[in-house]
Chains A and B, each alone.
Chain A
Protein backbone atom coordinates (compact mmCIF):
# COMPACT_ATOMS: atom_id res chain seq x y z
CA UNK A 1 0.00 0.00 0.00
CA UNK A 2 1.51 3.35 -0.95
CA UNK A 3 2.15 5.66 1.99
CA UNK A 4 2.34 8.74 -0.11
CA UNK A 5 1.14 9.64 -3.57
CA UNK A 6 3.43 11.08 -6.16
CA UNK A 7 2.05 13.47 -8.70
CA UNK A 8 1.35 10.91 -11.41
CA UNK A 9 -0.72 8.85 -8.98
CA UNK A 10 -2.73 11.90 -8.07
CA UNK A 11 -3.36 12.42 -11.76
CA UNK A 12 -4.61 8.87 -11.96
CA UNK A 13 -6.97 9.45 -9.07
CA UNK A 14 -8.62 12.50 -10.56
CA UNK A 15 -8.69 10.87 -14.00
CA UNK A 16 -10.63 7.96 -12.49
CA UNK A 17 -13.50 10.32 -11.66
CA UNK A 18 -13.60 11.83 -15.10
CA UNK A 19 -16.20 10.32 -17.36
CA UNK A 20 -15.30 8.21 -20.34
CA UNK A 21 -17.41 7.58 -23.38
CA UNK A 22 -18.03 4.82 -25.88
CA UNK A 23 -17.94 5.87 -29.52
CA UNK A 24 -19.39 3.79 -32.36
CA UNK A 25 -17.87 4.52 -35.80
CA UNK A 26 -19.44 4.23 -39.21
CA UNK A 27 -18.45 1.21 -41.29
CA UNK A 28 -19.48 0.27 -44.82
CA UNK A 29 -20.76 -3.17 -43.84
CA UNK A 30 -23.23 -3.15 -40.96
CA UNK A 31 -26.85 -2.58 -41.89
CA UNK A 32 -28.70 0.40 -40.45
CA UNK A 33 -31.42 -1.92 -39.12
CA UNK A 34 -28.84 -4.11 -37.41
CA UNK A 35 -27.02 -1.19 -35.76
CA UNK A 36 -30.36 0.13 -34.47
CA UNK A 37 -31.27 -3.33 -33.21
CA UNK A 38 -27.94 -3.68 -31.35
CA UNK A 39 -28.39 -0.29 -29.64
CA UNK A 40 -31.86 -1.33 -28.49
CA UNK A 41 -30.83 -4.83 -27.49
CA UNK A 42 -27.61 -4.03 -25.61
CA UNK A 43 -28.26 -0.58 -24.15
CA UNK A 44 -32.01 -0.99 -23.77
CA UNK A 45 -32.61 2.24 -25.70
CA UNK A 46 -36.02 3.03 -27.16
CA UNK A 47 -36.30 2.52 -30.88
CA UNK A 48 -36.41 6.27 -31.36
CA UNK A 49 -33.19 6.89 -29.46
CA UNK A 50 -31.45 3.91 -31.08
CA UNK A 51 -32.39 5.20 -34.54
CA UNK A 52 -31.18 8.70 -33.72
CA UNK A 53 -27.78 7.37 -32.64
CA UNK A 54 -27.59 5.05 -35.66
CA UNK A 55 -28.25 8.00 -37.99
CA UNK A 56 -25.54 10.00 -36.22
CA UNK A 57 -23.11 7.15 -36.90
CA UNK A 58 -24.27 7.01 -40.50
CA UNK A 59 -24.17 10.74 -41.26
CA UNK A 60 -21.48 12.08 -38.92
CA UNK A 61 -19.22 9.04 -39.02
CA UNK A 62 -19.42 8.52 -35.25
CA UNK A 63 -21.76 8.72 -32.28
CA UNK A 64 -21.29 8.68 -28.52
CA UNK A 65 -23.52 5.86 -27.35
CA UNK A 66 -22.69 5.67 -23.63
CA UNK A 67 -20.63 7.35 -20.94
CA UNK A 68 -19.41 6.40 -17.48
CA UNK A 69 -16.38 4.98 -15.74
CA UNK A 70 -13.49 3.68 -17.78
CA UNK A 71 -14.24 0.12 -16.69
CA UNK A 72 -17.88 0.39 -17.75
CA UNK A 73 -16.90 1.84 -21.11
CA UNK A 74 -14.41 -0.96 -21.71
CA UNK A 75 -17.26 -3.37 -21.09
CA UNK A 76 -19.48 -1.54 -23.60
CA UNK A 77 -16.71 -1.45 -26.22
CA UNK A 78 -16.11 -5.16 -25.77
CA UNK A 79 -19.84 -5.82 -26.18
CA UNK A 80 -19.94 -3.71 -29.37
CA UNK A 81 -17.02 -5.74 -30.75
CA UNK A 82 -18.97 -8.89 -29.90
CA UNK A 83 -21.76 -7.56 -32.13
CA UNK A 84 -19.26 -6.68 -34.86
CA UNK A 85 -19.64 -2.92 -34.47
CA UNK A 86 -16.54 -0.74 -34.61
CA UNK A 87 -16.27 0.97 -31.21
CA UNK A 88 -13.63 2.79 -29.20
CA UNK A 89 -13.54 4.54 -25.85
CA UNK A 90 -12.15 7.95 -25.04
CA UNK A 91 -12.09 10.52 -22.27
CA UNK A 92 -15.13 12.76 -22.36
CA UNK A 93 -13.05 15.93 -22.74
CA UNK A 94 -10.96 14.60 -25.67
Chain B
Protein backbone atom coordinates (compact mmCIF):
# COMPACT_ATOMS: atom_id res chain seq x y z
CA UNK B 1 0.00 0.00 0.00
CA UNK B 2 1.25 3.43 -0.93
CA UNK B 3 2.69 5.71 1.72
CA UNK B 4 1.15 8.64 -0.12
CA UNK B 5 2.96 11.68 -1.41
CA UNK B 6 6.31 13.02 -0.27
CA UNK B 7 7.73 16.45 -1.04
CA UNK B 8 9.89 16.57 -4.17
CA UNK B 9 13.21 18.34 -3.75
CA UNK B 10 12.63 20.82 -6.60
CA UNK B 11 9.01 21.46 -5.64
CA UNK B 12 6.02 19.27 -6.41
CA UNK B 13 5.54 15.79 -4.99
CA UNK B 14 6.41 12.12 -5.51
CA UNK B 15 4.58 8.89 -4.69
CA UNK B 16 4.87 5.19 -5.37
CA UNK B 17 1.69 3.23 -6.12
CA UNK B 18 1.07 -0.45 -6.54
CA UNK B 19 -0.25 -1.42 -9.95
CA UNK B 20 -3.65 -2.03 -8.36
CA UNK B 21 -3.73 1.45 -6.78
CA UNK B 22 -2.62 3.15 -9.98
CA UNK B 23 -5.27 1.22 -11.92
CA UNK B 24 -7.92 2.24 -9.38
CA UNK B 25 -6.98 5.92 -9.72
CA UNK B 26 -7.12 5.66 -13.50
CA UNK B 27 -10.51 4.02 -13.34
CA UNK B 28 -11.91 6.72 -11.02
CA UNK B 29 -10.49 9.45 -13.26
CA UNK B 30 -11.99 7.80 -16.37
CA UNK B 31 -15.41 7.54 -14.77
CA UNK B 32 -15.25 11.18 -13.82
CA UNK B 33 -14.40 12.17 -17.39
CA UNK B 34 -17.28 10.10 -18.72
CA UNK B 35 -19.71 11.74 -16.32
CA UNK B 36 -18.40 15.22 -17.20
CA UNK B 37 -18.85 14.53 -20.90
CA UNK B 38 -22.43 13.44 -20.39
CA UNK B 39 -23.87 15.22 -23.42
CA UNK B 40 -27.08 16.40 -21.77
CA UNK B 41 -25.64 19.63 -20.44
CA UNK B 42 -22.70 20.20 -22.75
CA UNK B 43 -23.39 22.97 -25.25
CA UNK B 44 -22.34 22.61 -28.86
CA UNK B 45 -19.02 24.32 -29.44
CA UNK B 46 -18.99 26.61 -32.43
CA UNK B 47 -15.64 26.80 -34.22
CA UNK B 48 -16.18 30.10 -35.98
CA UNK B 49 -15.35 32.97 -33.55
CA UNK B 50 -18.38 34.97 -34.72
CA UNK B 51 -20.66 31.99 -34.14
CA UNK B 52 -18.95 31.31 -30.83
CA UNK B 53 -19.90 34.78 -29.63
CA UNK B 54 -23.50 34.11 -30.57
CA UNK B 55 -23.53 30.68 -28.99
CA UNK B 56 -25.63 31.06 -25.86
CA UNK B 57 -26.53 27.41 -25.70
CA UNK B 58 -24.77 26.70 -22.41
CA UNK B 59 -26.93 25.02 -19.78
CA UNK B 60 -28.92 27.25 -17.44
CA UNK B 61 -30.46 24.59 -15.20
CA UNK B 62 -28.73 22.70 -12.44
CA UNK B 63 -27.60 19.27 -13.69
CA UNK B 64 -29.94 16.42 -12.75
CA UNK B 65 -27.16 14.09 -11.69
CA UNK B 66 -26.43 14.84 -8.02
CA UNK B 67 -22.67 14.48 -8.55
CA UNK B 68 -22.71 17.06 -11.33
CA UNK B 69 -24.97 19.28 -9.22
CA UNK B 70 -22.32 19.17 -6.48
CA UNK B 71 -19.43 19.79 -8.87
CA UNK B 72 -21.29 22.73 -10.43
CA UNK B 73 -23.35 24.25 -7.62
CA UNK B 74 -25.60 27.27 -8.09
CA UNK B 75 -23.56 30.46 -7.74
CA UNK B 76 -26.52 32.54 -6.54
CA UNK B 77 -28.79 31.37 -3.76
CA UNK B 78 -32.40 32.32 -4.23
CA UNK B 79 -31.89 33.94 -7.63
CA UNK B 80 -32.56 31.33 -10.29
CA UNK B 81 -32.15 33.79 -13.14
CA UNK B 82 -28.69 35.02 -12.09
CA UNK B 83 -27.67 31.43 -11.28
CA UNK B 84 -28.80 30.35 -14.75
CA UNK B 85 -26.85 33.12 -16.44
CA UNK B 86 -23.71 32.26 -14.45
CA UNK B 87 -24.12 28.61 -15.37
CA UNK B 88 -24.61 29.37 -19.05
CA UNK B 89 -21.28 31.19 -19.20
CA UNK B 90 -19.21 29.01 -16.87
CA UNK B 91 -20.38 25.42 -16.73
CA UNK B 92 -18.97 24.27 -20.07
CA UNK B 93 -15.59 25.76 -19.17
CA UNK B 94 -15.66 24.23 -15.68
CA UNK B 95 -16.60 20.86 -17.14
CA UNK B 96 -13.74 20.82 -19.62
CA UNK B 97 -11.33 22.04 -16.93
CA UNK B 98 -12.32 19.20 -14.61
CA UNK B 99 -12.11 16.67 -17.44
CA UNK B 100 -8.62 17.99 -18.23
CA UNK B 101 -7.38 17.61 -14.63
CA UNK B 102 -8.76 14.06 -14.48
CA UNK B 103 -7.06 13.41 -17.82
CA UNK B 104 -3.78 14.70 -16.40
CA UNK B 105 -3.96 12.03 -13.68
CA UNK B 106 -4.41 9.31 -16.30
CA UNK B 107 -1.55 10.70 -18.41
CA UNK B 108 0.81 10.83 -15.42
CA UNK B 109 0.04 7.22 -14.47
CA UNK B 110 0.43 5.91 -18.01
CA UNK B 111 3.61 7.91 -18.61
CA UNK B 112 4.93 6.38 -15.38
CA UNK B 113 4.40 2.91 -16.83
CA UNK B 114 0.83 1.85 -16.06
CA UNK B 115 -0.09 -0.47 -18.94
CA UNK B 116 -3.50 -0.37 -20.61
CA UNK B 117 -4.34 -3.76 -19.13
CA UNK B 118 -2.98 -4.46 -15.69
CA UNK B 119 -1.87 -8.08 -15.52
CA UNK B 120 1.40 -7.95 -13.64
CA UNK B 121 0.58 -8.01 -9.93
CA UNK B 122 3.98 -6.93 -8.65
CA UNK B 123 4.05 -3.75 -10.75
CA UNK B 124 4.87 -0.50 -8.95
CA UNK B 125 4.33 2.95 -10.43
CA UNK B 126 6.58 5.84 -9.41
CA UNK B 127 4.81 9.14 -9.92
CA UNK B 128 6.69 12.44 -9.98
CA UNK B 129 4.60 15.62 -10.06
CA UNK B 130 5.80 19.13 -10.87
CA UNK B 131 3.97 21.87 -8.99
CA UNK B 132 1.37 22.36 -11.77
CA UNK B 133 0.70 18.63 -12.11
CA UNK B 134 0.40 18.39 -8.34
CA UNK B 135 -2.33 21.05 -8.40
CA UNK B 136 -4.16 19.18 -11.16
CA UNK B 137 -3.96 15.97 -9.10
CA UNK B 138 -5.27 17.79 -6.05
CA UNK B 139 -8.28 19.09 -7.96
CA UNK B 140 -8.93 15.70 -9.55
CA UNK B 141 -8.72 13.88 -6.22
CA UNK B 142 -11.15 16.43 -4.78
CA UNK B 143 -13.61 15.80 -7.62
CA UNK B 144 -13.31 12.01 -7.15
CA UNK B 145 -13.99 12.42 -3.43
CA UNK B 146 -16.97 14.71 -4.06
CA UNK B 147 -18.35 12.16 -6.53
CA UNK B 148 -17.94 9.20 -4.15
CA UNK B 149 -19.31 11.19 -1.19
CA UNK B 150 -22.39 12.17 -3.18
CA UNK B 151 -23.03 8.60 -4.33
CA UNK B 152 -22.53 7.30 -0.76
CA UNK B 153 -24.61 10.06 0.80
CA UNK B 154 -21.87 11.21 3.18
CA UNK B 155 -22.92 13.82 5.71
CA UNK B 156 -21.18 15.95 8.31
CA UNK B 157 -20.15 13.92 11.36
CA UNK B 158 -21.44 10.53 10.14
CA UNK B 159 -18.13 8.64 10.51
CA UNK B 160 -19.59 6.09 12.90
CA UNK B 161 -22.25 5.08 10.46
CA UNK B 162 -19.58 3.99 7.98
CA UNK B 163 -17.48 2.20 10.56
CA UNK B 164 -20.48 0.14 11.59
CA UNK B 165 -21.21 -1.15 8.09
CA UNK B 166 -20.60 -4.90 7.70
CA UNK B 167 -17.50 -5.62 5.64
CA UNK B 168 -19.46 -7.36 2.91
CA UNK B 169 -21.56 -4.26 2.30
CA UNK B 170 -20.34 -2.83 -1.03
CA UNK B 171 -20.63 0.69 0.41
CA UNK B 172 -18.04 -0.26 2.99
CA UNK B 173 -15.53 -0.94 0.21
CA UNK B 174 -16.38 2.32 -1.58
CA UNK B 175 -16.01 4.19 1.70
CA UNK B 176 -12.54 2.67 2.13
CA UNK B 177 -11.59 4.08 -1.27
CA UNK B 178 -13.02 7.46 -0.24
CA UNK B 179 -10.87 7.41 2.92
CA UNK B 180 -7.83 6.32 0.97
CA UNK B 181 -8.27 9.29 -1.38
CA UNK B 182 -8.45 11.57 1.68
CA UNK B 183 -5.11 10.15 2.81
CA UNK B 184 -3.59 10.78 -0.63
CA UNK B 185 -4.98 14.30 -0.63
CA UNK B 186 -3.67 15.04 2.86
CA UNK B 187 -0.15 13.87 1.99
CA UNK B 188 -0.25 15.79 -1.30
CA UNK B 189 -1.30 19.04 0.40
CA UNK B 190 1.39 18.56 3.02
CA UNK B 191 4.02 17.86 0.34
CA UNK B 192 3.25 21.23 -1.22
CA UNK B 193 3.75 22.97 2.09
CA UNK B 194 0.07 23.21 3.05
Interface residues of A (CB under 8 A from B): 26, 28-31, 33-34, 36-37, 40-41, 74, 77-78, 81-84, 86-90
Binds A, one of B4-12, B17-25, B138-146: B138-146
Pairwise interchain contact A34-B194, C-beta atoms closer than 8 A: yes
What separation, in Å, do the CA atoms of A26 and B142 have in the docked complex? 15
Pairwise interchain contact B94-A78, C-beta atoms closer than 8 A: yes
Pairwise interchain contact A31-B189, C-beta atoms closer than 8 A: yes
Q: How many A-B residue pairs have CB under 8 A?
A: 74
Task: Knowing that A30-B142, A37-B192, A84-B139 touch, tell me 10 more A-B residue pairs with CB under 8 angstroms.
Answer: A29-B146, A30-B145, A33-B186, A34-B186, A74-B75, A81-B90, A82-B98, A84-B143, A88-B75, A90-B77
Which positions 150-194 of chain B face chain A at CB distance < 8 Å? 154-158, 182, 185-186, 189-190, 192, 194
Q: Tell whether B149 is near chain A: CB-to-CB under 8 Å.
A: yes
A32 CB to nearest chain B CB (Å): 10
> Which listed residue, B74, B158, B182, touches A88 by the CB 8 Å rule?
B74
A-B CB proximity, top 4 nearest: A37-B194, A84-B142, A28-B156, A29-B149
Q: How many residues of B contact A (CB 8 A)?
A: 34
Pairwise interchain contact B142-A83, C-beta atoms closer than 8 A: yes
> Which listed residue, B71, B86, B189, touches A33 by the CB 8 Å rule?
B189
What separation, in Å, do the CA atoms of A87 and B135 have in the docked complex? 19
Residue of A nearest to B77 (CB): A88
Q: Tell whether B97 is near chain A: CB-to-CB under 8 Å.
A: yes
Given the complex, which residues of A lie within 8 Å of B76, measured CB to CB?
A: 88-90
Known contacts A28-B149, A28-B154, A74-B86: does B94 contact A33 (CB below 8 Å)? no
Given the complex, which residues of A lie within 8 Å of B146, measured CB to CB?
A: 29, 84
B82 CB to nearest chain A CB (Å): 9
Q: Tell whether B113 is near chain A: CB-to-CB under 8 Å.
A: no
What separation, in Å, do the CA atoms of A40 and B190 have in the docked complex? 13
Given the complex, which residues of A lie within 8 Å of B145, measured CB to CB?
A: 29-30, 84
Residue of B nearest to A82 (CB): B97
A2 CB to nearest chain B CB (Å): 21
Residue of B nearest to A25 (CB): B73
What separation, in Å, do the CA atoms of A86 and B182 have in the docked complex? 18
Given the complex, which residues of A lie within 8 Å of B98, measured CB to CB?
A: 82
Given the complex, which residues of A lie within 8 Å of B158, measured CB to CB?
A: 28
Known contacts A78-B90, A86-B73, A88-B74: does B139 contact A33 (CB below 8 Å)? no
What separation, in Å, do the CA atoms of A86 and B71 have in the docked complex? 8
